[in-house]
Each structure stands twice: as structure tokens, then as C-alpha cells.
């Protein structure tokens, strides 16, 4: 194996920017099942939205998703004082 073979092997893989795993040159997403990061110059829609939202918007989304769960509504109904309507 000469020096040029090692350089060619490095070009044949794409390194994931998150988990640093090696992927084939035609890969669009990372092959690691826990990562699945988009490779290349484009991002997931979630990454684009997160980059363009403020901290307050993200907090509002978190609160809304939590309060919309059935266990949240059930806990509030079960813990209501007897005199409230």
C-alpha cells in the first residue's frame, strides 16, 4: 500500500459532523442508527426551524406539548378542589 492509496481511502468516506462516524460517499444521512444526521450542506427541517426561532418560542412549544398530554389534564381534574367548577 503506498501513500496515495491512503489518501484515496479518505476521500471515499464522508465523516459525520456529529458522531464522527464514516459513511459511504453517496450517503445522504449518517449510517449510525442513533445519529441519522443529514450529511452535506443541507439540514433537517427541525434544525432550520430551531435556528430561526427564539428562546421564548421554543419554551412555548415545550409548554404546549406538555399541557396537551392526557396525563396533565387527568392530574388537573383529579387534583381540583371540591368547591371549584
Domain boundaries defined on the chain = 3-78
Range from 4-13, 26-35, 66-75 carrying the lowest mean pLDDT: 4-13
pTM above 0.75, yes or no: no
- Give me the sign of the Cα torsion angle 40, 41, 45, 49: positive
- Read off the pLDDT of residues 12-48 as tens digits, 9 standing for 90 and up: 888 888 899 999 988 888 889 998 888 877 777 777 8
DSSP assignments along 16-77, one per residue: -TTT--EE-TT-SB-S-TTT-PBPSS---HHHHHHHTS-HHHHHHHHHHHHHTSHHHHHHHH
pLDDT of 7 > 70? The answer is no
Amino acid at each position: 500500500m503506498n501513500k496515495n492509496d491512503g489518501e484515496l481511502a479518505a476521500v471515499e468516506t464522508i465523516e459525520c459532523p456529529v458522531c464522527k462516524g464514516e459513511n459511504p460517499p453517496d450517503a445522504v444521512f449518517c449510517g449510525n442508527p442513533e445519529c441519522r444526521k443529514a450529511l452535506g450542506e443541507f439540514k433537517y427541517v427541525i434544525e432550520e426551524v430551531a435556528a430561526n426561532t427564539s428562546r421564548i418560542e421554543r419554551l412555548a412549544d415545550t409548554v404546549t406539548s406538555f399541557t396537551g398530554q392526557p396525563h396533565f389534564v387527568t392530574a388537573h381534574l383529579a387534583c381540583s378542589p371540591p368547591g371549584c367548577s
